[in-house]
Chain A
Amino acid sequence: MVAVRRGDVTATLAAGESVLDGLARHGVTLPSSCRAGACQSCLVRAVAGTPPPAAQQGLREGLRRQGYFLACCARPQEDLELAEGDADLDVEATVTVLDRLAPDVVRVGLRPARSLGHRAGQFVTVTPPGGPSRAYSIASASDAPELELHVRAIPGGAVSGWLAERARVGDRVTLRGPAGECFYVAGRAEQPLLLAGTGTGIAPLFGLLQDALREGHRGRIVVVHGSVAREGQYLETSLAALAAAHAQLEVHHAVLQGEPGCAPGAHARCSVWGGSIASVVASVVPSPKGFNITLCGDPSVVAGMRRALFLAGAALTEIRADAFLPSAA
């Protein structure tokens, strides 16, 4: 008999019974809709035990690797323990770095008290002492001992304002997570990659890029960073250094208010474009079929690029998007 544990409840499944039905019989009602493995409302995560592969069909590689599966069509062969919501344990961290990458972007270094088990490109939720919480993407490589976050300082921002103006090195914050699926997945080293982000949306992509290069990704890697003004290209030097060291990497800076056309950048494989990030992506990757694509940043820009790339031939399952939603205060 197979047992499924979630919090205080242990459900023993009847023969042929799904995790969703078994938990419901024990008083735990998970969200569900189609009950046919399509709508993904009943997505849950196993923290112990192996979910049945049939319950992971159609999920993205990143989700599968984190143990996510669909409860409605899971008839497991072994005991499972499920995560309760997204409430992973909190981790204390010390602020180790605070400096300006651009007039409105702060680099925040954090040393967690214990490993988060994160992947570069995922995001963590940061809670200052007594403050509300905000999510920021991880820009450092997965094996780095400290986390690097790129925080856009929003005037009056409850957390970004604290980090930009009042926080000091040595202060402590609480981290929760990690979450998100915009990280490098090894195993297809020849596949071309497109990494496109606006503003601090370049942060998770920079983390993902470092992981890809370190893991020996050989296929073409196209990075496009969109900003409103030239000074928003705050990772230009770091990206040029990576381009100089890796022949498969090319970097395009899309400056919305820049001069139309394409000018040389800080390295032979770097260029500076005037115009929207969507137009630059369309110019440098006119045929995205076969690419694995990660998009981060402004929600409407991300949604527009995703649709355009899909219509131009990219497979939907090969497009991951992380829209940065600003909080109300």
Chain B
Amino acid sequence: MPTLYESLGGEAAVNAAVDIFYRKMLSDDRVAGFFDTVDMDKQAAKQKAFLTMVFGGPANYSGKDMRAAHSHLVARGLDDRHVDIVIEHLGGTLAELGVAPDLIAQVAALANSVRDDVLSRAKGGAATGT
């Protein structure tokens, strides 16, 4: 049985998704401010790593990495609403690419599994918004 990553189309799917996803994030005033000062190439590489992970692909990100990468954003006000927006745009991106709803739900669940690490809190530390 193919993995989620294989079902979505592997690296080709990640490459197709990264521009659409990043464009949605930068176009959304609710989250765009978090990207104002970042290098677009480095950010695109991080988006690609993130998408690879939530597609269930070969990624070596640990919970500690996710905490370290986002702690400065938590200090700037990153919270559950922003994670919800990320998951919303993730779903919108996959829908644009013609991915079936059940696979989108699996991707959203994987993204949700790192929510507490991204927000620098203990597992199950707060109710989720979606």
The interface of chain A, by Cβ under 8 A from chain B, is: 34-36, 38-40, 57-58, 303, 306-307, 310-311, 315-317
Residues of B14-42 at the interface with A, using a CB-CB cut-off of 8 Å, are: 15, 18-19, 22-23, 26-27, 40-42
Q: Is the CB of B27 within 8 A of A311?
A: yes
**A307-B22 contact given A34-B49, A34-B60, A38-B46, CB 8 Å threshold:** no
- Give the chain A neighbours of B26 by CB distance below 8 A: 307, 310-311
Question: Helix, strand, loop or mixed for chain B's interface?
Answer: helix
Q: Is the CB of B45 within 8 A of A38?
A: yes
**A311-B23 contact given A34-B60, A35-B60, A57-B11, CB 8 Å threshold:** yes
**A316-B44 contact given A36-B58, A36-B60, CB 8 Å threshold:** yes
- Give the chain B neighbours of A303 by CB distance below 8 A: 40
- Give the chain B neighbours of A57 by CB distance below 8 A: 11
Q: Is the CB of A36 within 8 A of B52?
A: yes
- Give the chain A neighbours of B48 by CB distance below 8 A: 38, 58
Besides A34-B49, A34-B61, A317-B19, 4 other A-B contacts (C-beta < 8 A): A36-B49, A40-B45, A57-B11, A58-B45
Q: Is the CB of A316 within 8 A of B49?
A: no
- Give the chain B neighbours of A317 by CB distance below 8 A: 19
Residue B109 CB within 8 A of the other chain:
no
User: How long is the Cα–Cα vector from A34 to B19 in the complex, in angstroms?
Assistant: 20
Q: Is the CB of A38 within 8 A of B19?
A: no
Question: Residue on B with the closest CB to A310?
Answer: B23
Residue B73 CB within 8 A of the other chain:
no
- Give the chain A neighbours of B59 by CB distance below 8 A: 34, 36, 38
Q: Report B5 CB to chain A, min CB distance, Å.
A: 13
Q: Is the CB of B49 within 8 A of A310?
A: no
User: How long is the Cα–Cα vector from A35 to B48 in the complex, in angstroms?
Assistant: 13
Q: Report A108 CB to chain B, min CB distance, Å.
A: 30
Q: Is the CB of A316 within 8 A of B52?
A: no
Q: Is the CB of B11 within 8 A of A315?
A: no
Question: Residue on B with the closest CB to A34?
Answer: B49
User: How long is the Cα–Cα vector from A306 to B42 in the complex, in angstroms?
Assistant: 14
Q: Is the CB of B19 within 8 A of A39?
A: no
**A316-B22 contact given A36-B52, A58-B48, CB 8 Å threshold:** yes
- A-B residue pairs, 10 tightest by C-beta: A38-B49, A36-B60, A316-B44, A38-B48, A39-B45, A36-B59, A38-B45, A35-B60, A315-B19, A34-B49
- Give the chain B neighbours of A310 by CB distance below 8 A: 19, 22-23, 26, 40
Q: List 26 A-B contacts (CB under 8 A).
A: A34-B59, A34-B61, A36-B49, A36-B52, A36-B58, A36-B59, A36-B60, A36-B61, A38-B45, A38-B48, A38-B59, A57-B11, A58-B15, A58-B45, A306-B40, A307-B26, A307-B40, A310-B19, A310-B22, A310-B23, A310-B26, A310-B40, A311-B26, A311-B27, A316-B18, A316-B19
